[in-house]
Amino acid sequence: MHSWHISRDIEQASIAAAEFLGEKIMACIKQKDICHIALPGGNTPALCLSKLAEKDLPWRKIHWYLGDERCYPIGHEERNDVMLYKNLWSRINGEDDLSDRIHCVPAELGAERGAEAYRKLIDSIAGLDIAFLGMGEDGHTASLFPGNAALDDERSVVPVHDSPKAPDDRVSLSLKTLNDATHRLVLTAGSAKAEIIARIRQGENLPINLIGAINWFVDEAAMAE
């Protein structure tokens, strides 16, 4: 069952999502003394991530993963890990070196080899505690696009080809991995997402409707239809 947290605008939705993430991370660490969290790509999460970095969290007990990565060379400006470093990891103060807790996807190896390598890592942990995701206007999440063969791949990490959103080749956590996460959070906003949100609320068979109960953080514009 989805739960909807509706805010006035993207800034308030981002702040609310960061608050939710902080609470869930702390609860997880209180219970397990560690937290495994997958992060989104795209443009929407930037403010939420920077607000999260401002919190006083036990950073050395958090392990960061990516929901997906684009098959570009290391350091390419369109890589999701470049966005995540800029908006989150570079802003975490008081910690000298978190590199052993930041698990980037070796998507520079290509979709097949990158997925194989990341799969070994994901299979070595007992599932994600939090999957923080974005959503595209076609109802995709991570790099799981409508009608794409990756949707039927039950391995934990899957290669993606023929992506309708550049680049063609990507690496993504699978539906199964996202479904198995303890908590799922999607932050999305803006009138451009209103039409797909309406379809999701009607239960349409879209990739994001296949990953289980979601805590949605949205603005009023995305809920306008």
Q: Which residues bind ligand 6PG (CB under 6 A)?
A: 40-44, 67-68, 70, 80, 134-136, 140-143, 165
| E strands, the chain, in order | 3-7, 35-39, 62-66, 68-70, 130-133, 157-160, 170-173, 183-188, 215-219
C-beta of 110: minimal distance to ligand 6PG in Å?
16
Output the six-digit token pair for 196. Answer: 């797909």
C-beta of 80: minimal distance to ligand 6PG in Å?
5
Indicate the helix (H) or strand (E) that contains 54: none
Tell me the one-letter amino acid at 198. Answer: A
Which one, 114 or 134, has the nearer CB to ligand 6PG? 134
Q: How many CB atoms lie within 10 A of CB 100?
A: 8
Residue linked to tokens 């608050």: 19
**Nearest residue to ligand 6PG, by Cβ distance, number only:** 134
C-beta of 142: minimal distance to ligand 6PG in Å?
5
C-beta of 78: minimal distance to ligand 6PG in Å?
9
Output the six-digit token pair for 82. Answer: 């470049």
Least Cα distance to 178 among 198, 197, 203, 155 occurs for: 155
CA distance 215 to 187: 9
Which one, 29 or 138, has the nearer CB to ligand 6PG? 138
Which one, 13 or 58, has the nearer CB to ligand 6PG? 13
C-beta of 211: minimal distance to ligand 6PG in Å?
12
Which one, 95 or 168, has the nearer CB to ligand 6PG? 168
Which one, 33 or 141, has the nearer CB to ligand 6PG? 141
C-beta of 163: minimal distance to ligand 6PG in Å?
9
Q: DSSP secondary-structure letter at 112? A: H
Tell me the one-letter amino acid at 191. Answer: S
Q: Burial level of 144, CB count in 10 A (0-12/13-18/19+)?
A: buried
Which one, 28 or 187, has the nearer CB to ligand 6PG? 187
